[in-house]
């Protein structure tokens, strides 16, 4: 069993991490650090809540420290964890620049420690289902894949964060999910086309992005906006012999927000009305249209992978090169909107 400490006691730790790790018999959560003495999140019985981070550094029992803090502090905490001789799992975005990530991975290697980015969206149900359909080969040679991650939250760009800031960029905050999915499944692209916008004008929040990744003939597009009153399909995949469309997104987040937690019947499981539709011609030219039962997602698989890497030396779920490549893409996109923004 690995003993865990968390840095951060907010939504990230309590919604997207703890519900999964508390169900995993390979882990024991010992300590949660936050500089604030109070939190709206209910305390977990048996866990030590501290306001002095030195309690983590002094505790020889702690094997793995998980960083769930604002994105501009991720690299700083990762470096401190490694320098105290402990393994680290770091929320996304992993760092602010590719060079910062390279430095951290080199430090982890030098000290013989585990360091990885927490990319839970690799285990979204819709994304896993798309992979299943692609790997089946029924679509033939792939031509185009579209991924959409939409919101209708106009209050965010118009009132809450009216001034541009890299740390509140929509591309950095949400592109970190979908860029990783593309790189994790399709690999490093030959080229990337960027369309990163501030729909409310220069100096305002980056509230839209549309990136195209090219792999020979194949184009993989990721598109997101704060102003989609009706969301586009989660995924659309086109091949020479057919197409697959998955309208609804993974349901784990929906259930977590309702406090319907892992381990309960049906957690994160699609109902038949959420299944995607596969349409194709088979090798005999026969037309098919059928529903595809969704794969079951599981954010906890990141922790299962971390355990196997730390204890048994298995390859990381998210490789160092994949994390660096993702940051290259994000940094390049951010550069396109930094010119003319006075705080950068």
Question: How many CB atoms neighbour CB 8 within 10 A?
Answer: 21
Q: What is the pLDDT of residue 166?
A: 75
Q: What is the pLDDT of residues 118-147, one digit of tens each?
A: 999 999 999 999 999 999 999 999 999 999
Q: What is the pLDDT of residue 161?
A: 67
Question: How many CB atoms neighbour CB 210 within 10 A?
Answer: 15
CA atoms of 336 and 344, how far apart (whole Å): 12
Q: What is the pLDDT of residue 283?
A: 93
Question: How many CB atoms neighbour CB 216 within 10 A?
Answer: 8
CA atoms of 234 and 201, how far apart (whole Å): 27
At the topology level, CATH places domain 2-118 in Rossmann fold (3.40.50)
Q: What is the pLDDT of residue 342?
A: 46
Low-confidence spans in the chain with pLDDT less than 50 = 340, 342-344
Which uninterrupted H or E stretch holds 223?
strand 218-225
Q: What is the pLDDT of residue 344?
A: 39
Note whether 2-118 and 122-300+330-338 share their fold: no
Contact 39, 9 (CB under 8 A): yes
Q: What is the pLDDT of residue 24?
A: 95
At the topology level, CATH places domain 122-300+330-338 in Dihydrodipicolinate Reductase; domain 2 (3.30.360)
Q: What is the pLDDT of residues 2-16, one digit of tens each?
A: 999 999 999 999 999
DSSP classification of residue 273: G
Break the chain down into helix, strand, coil percent, rounded to 5.
35, 25, 40
- φ, ψ of residue 27 to 5 degrees: the values are -130, 150
DSSP string, 93-159: S--SSHHHHHHHHHHHHHHT--EEEE-GGGG-HHHHHHHHHHHHTTT-SEEEEEEE---B-THIIII
Q: What is the pLDDT of residue 272?
A: 97
Buried-state track 74-109, b at ≥16 Cβ within 10 A, e below 16: bbebbbbbbebebbbbbbbbbbbebebbeebbeebe
Domain regions of the chain by residue span: 2-118, 122-300+330-338
Structure pTM? 0.94
CA atoms of 92 and 167, how far apart (whole Å): 12
- φ, ψ of residue 72 to 5 degrees: the values are -75, -5
Contact 26, 2 (CB under 8 A): yes
Q: What is the pLDDT of residue 191?
A: 97
């Amino acid at each position: 069993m690995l003993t865990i400490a968390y840095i951060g006691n907010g939504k990230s730790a309590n919604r997207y991490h703890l519900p999964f790790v508390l169900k995993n018999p390979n882990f024991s959560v010992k300590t949660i650090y936050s500089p604030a003495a109070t939190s709206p999140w209910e305390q977990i019985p048996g866990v030590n809540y501290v306001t002095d981070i030195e309690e983590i550094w002094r505790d020889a029992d702690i094997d793995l420290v998980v960083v769930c803090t604002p994105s501009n502090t991720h690299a700083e905490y990762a470096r401190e964890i490694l320098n105290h001789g402990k393994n680290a799992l770091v929320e996304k975005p992993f760092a602010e620049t590719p060079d910062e990530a390279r430095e951290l991975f080199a430090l982890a290697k030098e000290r013989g420690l585990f360091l990885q980015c927490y990319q839970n969206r690799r285990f979204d149900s819709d994304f896993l289902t798309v992979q299943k359909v692609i790997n089946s080969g029924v679509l033939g040679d792939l031509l185009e894949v579209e991924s959409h991650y939409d919101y209708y939250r106009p209050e965010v760009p118009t009132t809450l964060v009216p001034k541009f800031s890299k740390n509140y960029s929509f591309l950095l905050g949400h592109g970190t999910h979908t860029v990783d999915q593309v790189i994790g499944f399709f690999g490093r692209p030959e080229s990337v086309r960027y369309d990163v916008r501030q729909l409310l004008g220069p100096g305002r929040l980056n509230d839209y992005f549309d990136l195209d990744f090219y792999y020979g003939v194949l184009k993989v597009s990721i598109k997101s906006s704060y102003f989609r009153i009706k969301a586009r399909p989660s995924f659309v995949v086109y091949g020479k012999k057919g197409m697959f469309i998955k309208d609804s997104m993974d349901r784990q987040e929906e259930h977590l927000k309702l406090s319907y937690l892992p381990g309960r019947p049906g957690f994160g499981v699609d109902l038949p009305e959420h299944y995607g539709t596969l349409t194709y011609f088979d090798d005999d030219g026969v037309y098919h249209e059928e529903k595809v039962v969704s794969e079951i997602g599981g954010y906890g698989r990141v922790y299962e992978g971390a355990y196997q890497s730390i204890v048994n030396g298995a390859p990381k779920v998210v490789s160092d090169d994949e994390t660096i490549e993702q940051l290259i893409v994000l940094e390049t996109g951010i550069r396109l909107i930094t010119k003319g923004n006075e705080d950068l």
